[in-house]
Structure 1
Amino acid sequence: MSISSSSEIRKDPEMGSPVSAAPTASKRLLSIDALRGFDMLLIAGGGTFLVLLKGKTGIGAVDWIANQLTHPAWNGFTFYDFIFPLFLFIAGVSLTFSLNKGKSLGLSNGTLYRKTFVRMIVLILLGMLYKNAPVPFFEPAQIRLGSVLGRIGLATFVATWFYLNMGFYKRLASGMVILLLYYAALYLIPVPGYGAGDLSFEGNLVGWFDRTFLPGRLHQVTYDELGILTQFPALCLTLFGTLAGEVIGKAWLDKRKGSYLAIGGIAGIVLGLLWGLHFPINKHLWSSSFILLTTGMAFLFLLAFYWVIDVWKIRKWAFFFQVIGLNSLTIYFAYSFIDFGFTSRKLFYGLYAPLPEEWHAVFQAFGAFLLVWVFLYILYRLKLFVKV
């Protein structure tokens, strides 16, 4: 992990943010940073503030939004389920630009593999720190191995191999094959005591596999949604993200990029919903239908951000999100190790103290979110960006 300070916002080839695929220009796609920032916004306090508004305003739309920012108990889908898949997809989009830049600088495939492998190891270790801090070093059975950062690192490393060795359609076919095999495994491999095809909370193959082969603490006790088997469908999001990145990076596709991204989005959503009629949409299991649905949504979100920001050049509104997106790792960790809520109360309690007590948590959360953004803005102004 490193902290860069420069007068120009750029990243090296091994980093996860995009630069131009053309070797003669180093032009950053602001839409990728803005989309990443939008994604992180809901993690960086924006989601908490909105959830706390539920039942307090008397406005049905506000309550509906609040409900969309919580996960379903099992089957089903809310917008909050889309947050992590979108990040994995963006990682794949960014990866294409990073690898293309590396190749244009003369880096060999072996060097690129080595860089992404080291990055994977660092992210796995950081993920374990994040999920377990304070780490119970003397109770290894209480250490959770699965993590968001670890999944990003592993998916990016595997996607690197696919991107450097396979063309567009072979990567697309490989992703679909992985999803089909995962689907077949969950329906055809019997689980002791439950049989084959049991997708219940207790009887699914994912949970049995984690309980049998994954050491340490399981997040849901009977399974871990960031465990072993779910790695396979999850990495397809990053793999499909490389397809979108390749579309954006092809100069000769300028007049058709929007059409390609729209087709990818609509196809993913339709296929996901149809598959979901038999293989339920389920984030906990990272079901194949869930992967296709969120992939389709990610294509459309990327299309919207890319077209408005980088094609139409309407950018001022995106600065708010860009500040967050440029330091996504920073805010992810900061929210775990810095008590912004405590500081918010210290600074702003006098302003909202006269309000009914049920509103105090809402304004404290909103104040914490403002502090987070100001913190990231200061880092932006200082040109300090944490990289892995």
Structure 2
Amino acid sequence: MNSNRLQSLDALRGFDMFFIMGLSGLITALCALAPCGFTEELALQMKHVEWDGLRHHDTIFPLFLFLAGVSFPFSYARQREMGASSAKIYWKIVRRGIVLVLLGMVYNGLFKLDFDSLRCASVLGRIGLAWMFAALLFVSCGVKARVAISVTILIGYALLIKFVGAPDVEGADPLSMQGNLVGYIDRLFMPGRLIYDGGRFDPEGLLSTLPAVVTAMLGMFTGELIRLPEQRLSGNRKCHYMVGAAVVLALVAIVFDGFVPVNKMLWSSTFVCAVGAYSLAMMALFYYIVDVRGWRSWTLPFRVVGMNSITIYLAQRIINFGGISTFFFGGVAKLCPEQWATVVHSVGYLLVSWLFLYFLYRKKVFLKV
């Protein structure tokens, strides 16, 4: 493994992906063993909110997009050091965005060739487009211009979804699932199937990709900060700046939540600020522990996942990890009471998925897009 690689980034990405790999299900199963107010609330954090609000499960996707942004200043600097031309860098950015959109469609069943029911919007597609536009801005604009663009997007998007509703739904709240402009734009222009409200809304649609670009840009600002030479800014000071920015974003989200609520489905501007605060705080924590203090040995389980994050996301759609887990752990689960059997199945699924990635890690097989 490259010794110059930012190990805190891989570790945090792996920590984030662990919840998608089955950690959320395991925590929920463990909470069911000891029901009380705390465990009920903890289990609730492993589920998405239905509309307005924020739980931990709602932070997984935007944190991943944020981390994709953090990594770009490092890869961009490497490309420049290797003498890559601007045209080549622009092409690689656009190609990666297109590939992620296509992989998202593959994840949603592109190869079934049932185009009427195919969902074209996807998590990977959102990452691909948001990261692509943010990266193009990174290459083309200076820091001040990108800050101005980010603020303009957040303010403009907040005003747009607050005051402009769907013209085809008379009298509905512009911030409701039925009456929002985001769904209306998708109904007009998004091909394929929309997955909510009877095929009238999709959380990874076209218009809401715009504020997601800011999520990726927040990651790129953070990556630029971390890349600064130690002589110019110490690791401790970098952490202070990240925490300070997290506090500011959290306050903005709290203050303006009454104007435009924190809402993952709409990727509202307050949602961008709230998850940006969480992402910065987590990045500061991992960067301080792993890269500033140098405490790295404990991160191996996370880095194994973080270095092949897109692989495991796609593999869970293709490989029957649940069936493999049942093959090895089903007998033990049958011997357990029902609630403990759920825990055994959850542990088995997580272990089988991780061992698959560990095998790839040992063989130095990493999917790069």
Normalised-by-shorter TM-score class: over 0.9
Paired residue type of 2:182: V
Matched, 1:334 2:315: yes
Deviation at 1:197, TM superposition (A): 5.7
State the partner residue of 1:225: 203
Which whole-Å CA distance do the structure 2 matches of 1:83 and 1:190 have between them?
28
Matched, 1:199 2:175: yes
Which whole-Å CA distance do the structure 1 matches of 2:336 and 2:165 have between them?
57
Of 86-95 and 247-256, the range deviating more from structure 2: 247-256
Which whole-Å CA distance do the structure 2 matches of 1:31 and 1:169 have between them?
27
**Unaligned 5+ residue runs, structure 1?**
1-8, 11-25
Which whole-Å CA distance do the structure 1 matches of 2:144 and 2:170 have between them?
38
Deviations 1:96-149 (A, max 9, x none): 11111111211122111101111111111111010225x442x42211111111
1:245 aligned residue (223, 232, 240): 223
2:189 aligned residue (183, 198, 213): 213
State the partner residue of 2:345: 364
Deviations 1:2-23 (A, max 9, x none): xxxxxxx24xxxxxxxxxxxxx
Deviations 1:236-265 (A, max 9, x none): 100111110000001112252122111111
Q: What RMSD over aligned residues (CA atoms) do the two structures have, in Å?
A: 1.6
2:15 aligned residue (35, 38, 42): 38
> Structure 1 pair 196/67, CA: closer, same or farther in 2 (3 Å)?
closer
> Structure 1 pair 151/217, CA: closer, same or farther in 2 (3 Å)?
same
Which whole-Å CA distance do the structure 1 matches of 2:162 and 2:40 have between them?
37
State the partner residue of 2:81: 104
Paired residue type of 1:76: G
Which whole-Å CA distance do the structure 2 matches of 1:144 and 1:86 have between them?
23
Paired residue type of 1:181: G
Please give the residue correspondences for 1:152-301 in structure 2 after superposition, counting only pairs within 5 Å: 152-192=127-167, 193-194=169-170, 198-220=174-196, 221-251=199-229, 252-254=232-234, 256-301=237-282
State the partner residue of 2:303: 322
Which whole-Å CA distance do the structure 1 matches of 2:50 and 2:289 have between them?
36
Which whole-Å CA distance do the structure 1 matches of 2:28 and 2:121 have between them?
26
Which whole-Å CA distance do the structure 2 matches of 1:196 and 1:145 have between them?
26
Deviation at 1:190, TM superposition (A): 4.0
Deviation at 1:54, TM superposition (A): 4.0
Deviation at 1:218, TM superposition (A): 0.3
CA contact (8 A) 2:93 2:136 kept: no
Deviations 1:141-183 (A, max 9, x none): 2111111111111122111221112222321221111111111
CA contact (8 A) 1:264 1:296 kept: yes
Which whole-Å CA distance do the structure 1 matches of 2:338 and 2:282 have between them?
38
State the partner residue of 2:118: 143
TM-score (norm 1): 0.90
Which whole-Å CA distance do the structure 2 matches of 1:41 and 1:360 have between them?
20
CA contact (8 A) 1:187 1:196 kept: no
Percent of residue pairs bearing the same amino acid type: 39
TM-score (norm 2): 0.94
Please give the residue correspondences for 1:346-361 in structure 2 after superposition, counting only pairs within 5 Å: 346-361=327-342
Paired residue type of 1:210: D
SS at match of 1:256: helix
Deviations 1:292-338 (A, max 9, x none): 11011111100000010000001111111011001101111111111
